[in-house]
Amino acid sequence: MATSKPSIAVHKFSSCDGCQLAFLNLGEDLLQLMELVDVRHFAEAGILDEEADVDIAFVEGSLSTPQDLERIQQVRAHAKYLITIGACATAGGLQALRNLADAKEWVAAVYAQPEYIASLDKVQPIRAAVPVDFELWGCPVNGRQVVAAVRALLFGVAPIDAKDKVCMECKRQQAVCVMVARGEACLGPVTRTGCGALCPSFGRACYGCYGAAENANAVSLGMRMQGLGLPAEQIAQHFETTTNQSPLFAQATARWRGQHG
C-alpha cells in the first residue's frame, strides 16, 4: 500500500513576503520538492487551507498584532513540526525596530484615528509565543536551506544548523576583508553564514541579517569598531538591524547604548 506524502504549510505573519518568494524562486528544486511533499497551505502559491493539519509548518514574519498571537497558536496546534524562516520570524525583523521607540506616538502621527490600529506594544519573534522546532535565519532566508531542512526531516534526521561565521565564507569566496582593507565596521565576525558572503563579495560590510554565529564575541567586535573611530551610539546602531531581537545583538546594543548614555 502506498503511503501518503508528508504534508507542509507555509504561513505568513508580519513580513514582506521575501522568505516565501525564496521558496518560489527555487525553480526546478521547488518542483522536485513538490514531488516529495503535499503542500496544503501556501497563500503566496495560491494554495489555501490555513487550518489544515500538517507535518511541517513554515512560518514567515513576526508577531505584531493581537490577532497574530491568536493565529500562531492555531498554526502550532495544527503542525507536528514548526520551522521559522527568516529574520522577522526568528528575531523580529525590521518591525521590531519600533520596540526601540514609542510606537504609539508613531501611530498617532500617521493615522487620524489611531484607536482603530491594533498592535502589540512590542514586536516578538515566533519563539516568544510558541515552541519552535528549528529556525532558519536570513533576510531573506536561503531557499536551498529550506529544501535541505525539509529533506532532512523526511529522512528522520535533524536539519543541519549552519553556525559558521560570515568571515569563514569570505575566505571560501576569496573576498577581501572590508574591515581590514577598508576600515569598515562589519558584522561578519559575529554573524552566521548562509548568504554566501554576498555583501562582502561586493565590497559592502555585513549587516548581520543571518543572526548571531556560534561562539560569537560581540564585545570584542564592538571594541574593534571603537578602534575604527566609531562612537558608542553608532556601534549600538550596527547591532540593531533586522536581527535586533537576537539575544547576542540585543545585549551588544544595550552595552554600547549604555556607554553612550
Q: What is the pLDDT of residues 34-68, one digit of tens each?
A: 888 999 999 988 999 999 999 999 999 999 999 99
What's the mean per-residue pLDDT of the chain? Answer: 90
188 pLDDT above the threshold of 50: yes
The type of residue at 50 is: E
Q: Which residue has the higher pLDDT, 13 or 259?
A: 13
261 and 248 Cβ atoms separated by less than 8 Å:
no
Task: Tell me what pLDDT residue 134 has.
Answer: 93
Q: How confident is the model at residue 104 (pLDDT cuts 50, 70, 90)?
A: confident
Higher pLDDT, 177 or 151: 177
Q: What is the pLDDT of residue 148?
A: 87
Rounded CA-CA distance 162/170 in Å is: 15
Vertex 159, ends 156 and 162: CA angle to 5°?
165
Q: Identify the pLDDT of residue 48.
A: 92
pTM above 0.85, yes or no: yes
Tens of pLDDT, residue by residue over 216-254, are 999 999 999 999 999 999 999 999 888 888 889 989 998
Neighbouring CB atoms inside 10 A of 65's CB total 16
pLDDT in tens, 120-169: 989 999 999 999 999 999 999 988 888 888 888 888 888 888 888 999 99
Domains annotated for the chain, with CATH where assigned, are 7-154 (3.40.50.700), 166-260 (no CATH)
The reported pLDDT for the residue numbered 153 is: 86
Does residue 19 contact residue 69 with C-beta atoms inside 8 Å? no
Cell of 191: 554573524
pLDDT of residue 3: 54
| Residue 189: predicted pLDDT | 96
Residue 1: pLDDT band with limits 50, 70, 90: very low
96 pLDDT above the threshold of 80: yes
| Residues 76-93, mean pLDDT to the nearest whole number | 95
SS3 at position 201: helix
